[in-house]
């Protein structure tokens, strides 16, 4: 009976442009294997229908660990004096991009904390150099900035921007970010979209105070905003943050969130996040079976990537730089998929038709 209810609810959610929050909450709350499996299977079918069998790669370079923010969950928060901060030089970044490009990966994600020392003109020149030398897609992920900076980087050739919202609920957002406002993220999302960036968003699952209803609201937010990419990972407590000692986000709930996001967004790129791979065993494989179609190998030089500690136990942090891409081939093969070395631009603007699971 309850499996039948799950199937009927799934059919409604998959067919609605704006699914009912209560339906999403009901599906997120399923825990019995017999009830969860139809959700994961429907997500896998939707992924195959809209994205195919290829797994796209985005090479990430974490180029600065300086951050002015005080996000309660993040190891890079400004008050953490126990970490060594670094900023990579333009030459070091270009060398990392050379490694990415030489492995056939066609997207670089340049990420940093919200670094007050980041000169927008310097980053614009880095973007121009990357485009000129390697011609690959550039995603920036450097947080909240004025529209002028986003415009400058877009003119320099940046293609995409990754700005996770962490939670689309104002009260929950406020409880995790002293002195910062969700409206600022909305303003940034508006600016980035109107400047023509392909836009990535995302949330953490398992934040303190987060209910299933919050997550259902986030999934609805993703469905309505039609983001090009959506990253969903479990919250992992960091010992040098206010949230130390709290339990990490649940992997099964994270997987159900990924699956329902696939079912409602159809053609958004969904990474199997590094956080999902950093929870004891490598749950990225489960993410790839629950609707995800992207992996993000880390190309930060090894001497820096151990210092970019947003949460502890980050996957492959001591692996030699660039070893990841080879490992990705193995991961894909293990689940009967292949690595897709194309740029992986957005598919969201293409015609989307609902599928009944
Ligand atoms: N500063 C940029 C920004 O704010 O968008 C990008 C860097 S920020 C460190 C990248 C992401 O790390 C955040 O969006 C958040 O989702 C994730 N993150 C930070 N702390 C985390 C934690 N303790 N557990 C899981 N993910 C975390």
Is there an atom of ligand 1 within 6 Å of 140 CB? Answer: no
What pLDDT, in 10s, does the model give residues 206-253? 999 999 999 999 999 999 998 999 999 999 999 999 999 999 999 999
Q: How confident is the model at residue 316 (pLDDT cuts 50, 70, 90)?
A: confident
Please name the residues in contact with 136: beta carbons below 8 A apart, sequence gap of 6 or more. Answer: 97, 100, 101, 105, 106, 107, 108, 130, 343
Does residue 303 carry a pLDDT above 60? yes
Does residue 351 carry a pLDDT above 70? no
Per-residue pLDDT, 352: 38
Report the nearest-CA residue for atom 26 of ligand 1.
Answer: 235
Three-point CA angle 195, 224, 275, nearest 5°? 80
For the segment 277-297, the average pLDDT, to the nearest whole number, is 94
Is there an atom of ligand 1 within 6 Å of 164 CB? Answer: yes
**What one-character DSSP code corresponds to residue 276?**
G
Report the nearest-CA residue for atom 1 of ligand 1.
Answer: 113
Per-residue pLDDT, 349: 64
Does residue 350 carry a pLDDT above 90? no
CA-to-CA dists, residue 134 to 104, 141, 286, 340, angstroms: 11, 19, 33, 18
Per-residue pLDDT, 1: 60
Cβ of 234: how many Cβ atoms within 10 Å?
23
Alpha-carbon distance of 277 to 224, in angstroms, equals 28
The distance in angstroms from the start CA to the end CA of the chain is 17
What pLDDT, in 10s, does the model give residues 183-208? 999 999 999 999 999 999 999 999 99
Element (DSSP H or E) covering residue 33: helix 33-51
pTM: 0.96
Instruction: Using the atom order of ligand 1, give the atom closest to the CA of residue 142.
Output: 2
Per-residue pLDDT, 93: 98
For the segment 341-348, the average pLDDT, to the nearest whole number, is 94
- Burial pattern 194-226, b for ≥16 Cβ within 10 A else e, equals ebebbbbbbbbbbbeebebebbbbbbbbbbebb
Does residue 88 carry a pLDDT above 60? yes
Is there an atom of ligand 1 within 6 Å of 62 CB? Answer: no
What pLDDT, in 10s, does the model give residues 154-185? 999 999 999 999 999 999 999 999 989 999 99
Q: Which of 107-121, 223-237, 342-356 has the lowest mean pLDDT?
A: 342-356
What value does the mean pLDDT of the chain take? 94
161 CA to middle of ligand 1, Å? Answer: 14
> Are the C-beta atoms of 250 and 234 separated by less than 8 Å?
yes
Instruction: Using the atom order of ligand 1, give the atom closest to the CA of residue 231.
Output: 16
Percent of the chain at pLDDT > 90 equals 89
């Amino acid at each position: 009976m309850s499996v039948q209810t799950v199937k009927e609810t799934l059919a409604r959610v998959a067919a609605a442009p704006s699914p009912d929050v209560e339906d999403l909450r009901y599906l997120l709350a399923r825990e019995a294997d017999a009830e969860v499996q139809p959700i994961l299977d429907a997500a896998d079918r939707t992924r195959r229908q809209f994205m195919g069998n290829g797994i796209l790669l985005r090479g990430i370079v974490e180029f600065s660990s300086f951050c002015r923010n005080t996000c309660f969950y993040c190891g890079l928060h400004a008050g953490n004096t126990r970490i060594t901060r670094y900023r990579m030089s333009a030459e070091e970044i270009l060398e990392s991009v050379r490694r990415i490009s030489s492995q056939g990966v066609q997207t670089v994600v340049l990420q940093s904390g919200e670094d007050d020392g980041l000169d927008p003109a310097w980053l614009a020149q880095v973007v121009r150099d990357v485009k000129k030398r390697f011609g690959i897609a550039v995603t920036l992920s450097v947080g909240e900035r004025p529209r002028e900076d986003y415009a400058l980087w877009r003119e320099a050739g940046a293609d995409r921007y990754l700005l996770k919202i962490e939670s689309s609920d104002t009260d929950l957002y406020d409880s995790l970010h002293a002195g910062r406002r969700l409206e600022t993220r909305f303003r940034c999302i508006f600016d980035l979209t109107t400047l023509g960036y392909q836009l990535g968003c995302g949330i953490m699952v398992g934040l303190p105070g987060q209910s299933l209803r919050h997550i259902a609201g986030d999934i609805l937010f993703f469905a309505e905003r039609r983001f090009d990419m959506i990253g969903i990972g479990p919250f992992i407590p960091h010992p040098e943050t206010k949230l130390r000692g709290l339990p990490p986000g649940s992997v099964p709930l994270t997987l159900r969130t990924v699956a329902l996001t696939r079912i409602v967004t159809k053609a958004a790129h969904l990474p199997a996040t590094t956080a999902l791979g950093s929870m004891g065993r490598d749950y990225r494989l489960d993410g790839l079976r629950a609707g995800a179609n992207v992996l993000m190998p880390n190309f930060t030089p090894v001497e820096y990537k151990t210092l970019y500690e947003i949460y502890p136990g980050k996957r492959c942090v001591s692996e030699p730089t660039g070893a990841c891409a080879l490992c990705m081939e193995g991961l894909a093969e293990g689940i009967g998929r292949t690595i897709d070395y194309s740029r992986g631009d957005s598919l969201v603007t293409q015609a989307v038709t609902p599928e009944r699971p």
